A and B are shown apart, each in its own frame.
Chain A
């Protein structure tokens, strides 16, 4: 630890960090709670309290995702002179970059189907999806949890929310997976490429909804078609609408399978805990899923750009400088969670930053929880003996999702 302290340096995009960020987060939390990265003119926060405090600064557009909340290193390798330009309203810039009140207005327009009661109504649909997959996969004896099981469930939920024909489920999953991985040759995650590619799915759906009169039957898209911007009452184009929805498309398709699979891996590594959860799946899986969400999620951090001078936790930050908030690190902060690096299925969790906090708090948190719960519960209900083949698994090196992209599972005993 002393050696690390004296020579310590942290670059969120460095390959060493991409391969395993955890020791870096520990050192940052212990000795550099506000760490300045000169290359990106950026302050890094990793402690739970601090991440929550900074994300809780929601007034007056002091911080914005204006340079993207997940910029490529290339995009922020320059120093801003004062605040950068505010993203445009005409055309309406991609959702995560927008200033208040447009950021919130766009979210409020599309998120009706993601509210708690609306999500509960998806329970039967998701249950059927999971059972269909299990019926097909369990007899095969071996499959990939992320690609064949969880990913296909999540991608089908994306199709339902977006009004995309279910025949395109595999294509949806492949598009998201292939473009959200870290590209080693180009040293980046190609978020702009992702925005472009997903138009192939989202825009036909928007056009179908326009033809159907945007009558509210597809509540993710119809309100955006009917939205009017500002006093002039301008309608949004297909491209603008797509740019508001890409984040939800990617996040729903790609993220939930990861904690689901990695949560089952954590339970396998703790047979006593797995036995305890199995004792009453309906009661215990929801409790275990909260711990799984804490320690088994994969999303690393989010970035904001200051548009005003502000002093944060004693650190003066000038307009144009950036902050990086690591929710991954915060979720393992020993100051918040005793024995933070241990998986404890029924740990009492009073606060969580898994889904972020504040203005950009994950709009899909209810549907994420529901599908993860159903995947984990029904897998355990029907599979009484299984092993993960970690020798054949693929764990990503990425500054975005750090986790298993491929996770083969061998089924040794099941009932259907």
Chain B
């Protein structure tokens, strides 16, 4: 299954990915990102792709196992 991978050096909690893929990513109270689900099914592929595209830090990627 594909999984969403965060580069934690680049991620600065801008949070726009959480709007694109709320099932996979969420902001925590301390302004940091939380990955709710790493692996995702085909139904969430468009949202995962949108999150990767929208991240201004280029901090997300999708890895295929």
Task: Check if A and B associate.
Answer: yes
Are the CB atoms of A361 and B27 closer together than 8 Å? Answer: no
Q: Is B38 an interface residue (CB 8 A)?
A: no
- Residues of A within 8 Å of B14, CB to CB, are 116, 361, 365-366
Q: Is B10 an interface residue (CB 8 A)?
A: yes
- Residues of B within 8 Å of A359, CB to CB, are 10, 57-58
Are the CB atoms of A116 and B56 closer together than 8 Å? Answer: no
Complex A-B: 8 CB contacts under 8 Å: A100-B9, A116-B14, A116-B27, A118-B31, A355-B56, A358-B10, A358-B56, A359-B10
Q: Is the interface of A mostly helix, strand, loop or mixed?
A: helix
- Residues of B within 8 Å of A108, CB to CB, are 9, 12
Q: Is the interface of B mostly helix, strand, loop or mixed?
A: loop
Query: How far is it, in angstroms, between the C-alpha of A107 and the C-alpha of B57 when the chains are bound?
Result: 12
| Interface bin, chain A | 20 to 34
Contacts known (A56-B58, A358-B58); A101 close to B9, Cβ less than 8 A: yes
Q: Is A58 an interface residue (CB 8 A)?
A: yes
Q: Which residue of B lies closest to A56 (CB)?
A: B58
Query: How far is it, in angstroms, between the C-alpha of A56 and the C-alpha of B15 when the chains are bound?
Result: 18
Are the CB atoms of A116 and B58 closer together than 8 Å? Answer: no
Interface string of A78-118 (1 = CB under 8 A from B): 00000000000000000000001100110110011001111
Given A100-B9, A118-B31, 14 more pairs with CB closer than 8 A: A55-B58, A58-B58, A101-B9, A105-B9, A107-B12, A112-B31, A115-B13, A116-B13, A116-B31, A355-B56, A357-B58, A358-B58, A361-B57, A366-B14
- Residues of B within 8 Å of A118, CB to CB, are 31
Q: Is A363 an interface residue (CB 8 A)?
A: yes
Are the CB atoms of B15 and A358 closer together than 8 Å? Answer: no
Interface string of A344-360 (1 = CB under 8 A from B): 00000000000111110
CB distance from A106 to the nearest CB of B (A): 11
Q: Which 9 A-B pairs have the closest CB atoms?
A: A115-B31, A104-B9, A358-B58, A361-B56, A117-B31, A56-B58, A115-B13, A361-B57, A58-B58
Are the CB atoms of B10 and A117 closer together than 8 Å? Answer: no
B12 partner, pick from A56, A115, A357, beta carbons under 8 A: A115
- Residues of B within 8 Å of A115, CB to CB, are 12-13, 31-32
CB distance from A183 to the nearest CB of B (A): 32
Chain B residues numbered 1-39 whose CB sits less than 8 Å from any CB in chain A:
7, 9-10, 12-15, 27, 29, 31-32
CB distance from B60 to the nearest CB of A (A): 11
B10 partner, pick from A58, A116, A366, beta carbons under 8 A: A58
Q: Which residue of A lies closest to B29 (CB)?
A: A117
Query: How far is it, in angstroms, between the C-alpha of A365 and the C-alpha of B10 when the chains are bound?
Result: 15
Are the CB atoms of B56 and A357 closer together than 8 Å? Answer: yes
- Residues of B within 8 Å of A56, CB to CB, are 58
- Residues of A within 8 Å of B56, CB to CB, are 355-358, 361, 365
Query: How far is it, in angstroms, between the C-alpha of A356 and the C-alpha of B13 when the chains are bound?
Result: 16
Query: How far is it, in angstroms, between the C-alpha of A107 and the C-alpha of B56 when the chains are bound?
Result: 15
Q: Which residue of B lies closest to A100 (CB)?
A: B9
Are the CB atoms of B57 and A116 closer together than 8 Å? Answer: no
Q: Which residue of B lies closest to A119 (CB)?
A: B31
- Residues of B within 8 Å of A116, CB to CB, are 13-15, 27, 31
CB distance from B52 to the nearest CB of A (A): 11
Query: How far is it, in angstroms, between the C-alpha of A13 and the C-alpha of B13 when the chains are bound?
Result: 36
Query: How far is it, in angstroms, between the C-alpha of A384 and the C-alpha of B31 when the chains are bound?
Result: 38
Chain B residues numbered 38-60 whose CB sits less than 8 Å from any CB in chain A:
56-58
Query: How far is it, in angstroms, between the C-alpha of A166 and the C-alpha of B57 when the chains are bound?
Result: 33
Interface string of A220-255 (1 = CB under 8 A from B): 000000000000000000000000000000000000
Query: How far is it, in angstroms, between the C-alpha of A366 and the C-alpha of B13 when the chains are bound?
Result: 11
Most chain B Cβ neighbours within 10 Å, of A55, A357, A361: A361
CB distance from A29 to the nearest CB of B (A): 22
Q: Which residue of A lies closest to B7 (CB)?
A: A58
Query: How far is it, in angstroms, between the C-alpha of A355 and the C-alpha of B14 when the chains are bound?
Result: 12
Query: How far is it, in angstroms, between the C-alpha of A365 and the C-alpha of B14 when the chains are bound?
Result: 9
Contacts known (A116-B27, A116-B31, A117-B29); A111 close to B57, Cβ less than 8 A: no
Query: How far is it, in angstroms, between the C-alpha of A162 and the C-alpha of B7 when the chains are bound?
Result: 28
- Residues of B within 8 Å of A101, CB to CB, are 9
CB distance from A114 to the nearest CB of B (A): 8
- Residues of B within 8 Å of A355, CB to CB, are 56
- Residues of A within 8 Å of B31, CB to CB, are 112, 115-118
